[in-house]
Amino acid sequence: MPELKTLGLFLLTALAEIVGCYLPYLWLREGKPIWLLLPAALSLMLFAWLLTLHPTASGRVYAAYGGVYIFVAVLWLWTVDGIRPSVWDLMGSAVALLGMAIIMFAPRN
């Protein structure tokens, strides 16, 4: 089940990145307290550390991670921003996830 572990790790990584970027957004755009920058920084450090846990080349991990990030960002759009994704959003996410799967799980020598 290394594929499920990889996907789960990517999902946690994406969530850490989005939270780390969303909290400064709240401070800058919504006038929320500056102390939100502390958990934002911790979340971004967690994001960077999680990327190091993959047992493959960093470039491959970064490329594939982008597909999962797109998917999680669309979920965030729906659950946090309250905007229902369009069919195009969902289709783009599906294509991005397919790209991630090809990059991460294709047979290699």
Predicted pLDDT of residue 54 = 83
Residue 47: what residue type?
F
How is residue 1 annotated by DSSP?
-
How is residue 83 annotated by DSSP?
-
| Torsion angle, alpha carbons of 75, 80, 83, 86, to 10 | 0
pTM of the model: 0.87
pLDDT in tens, 47-102: 999 989 987 878 888 888 999 999 999 999 999 999 999 999 999 999 999 999 99
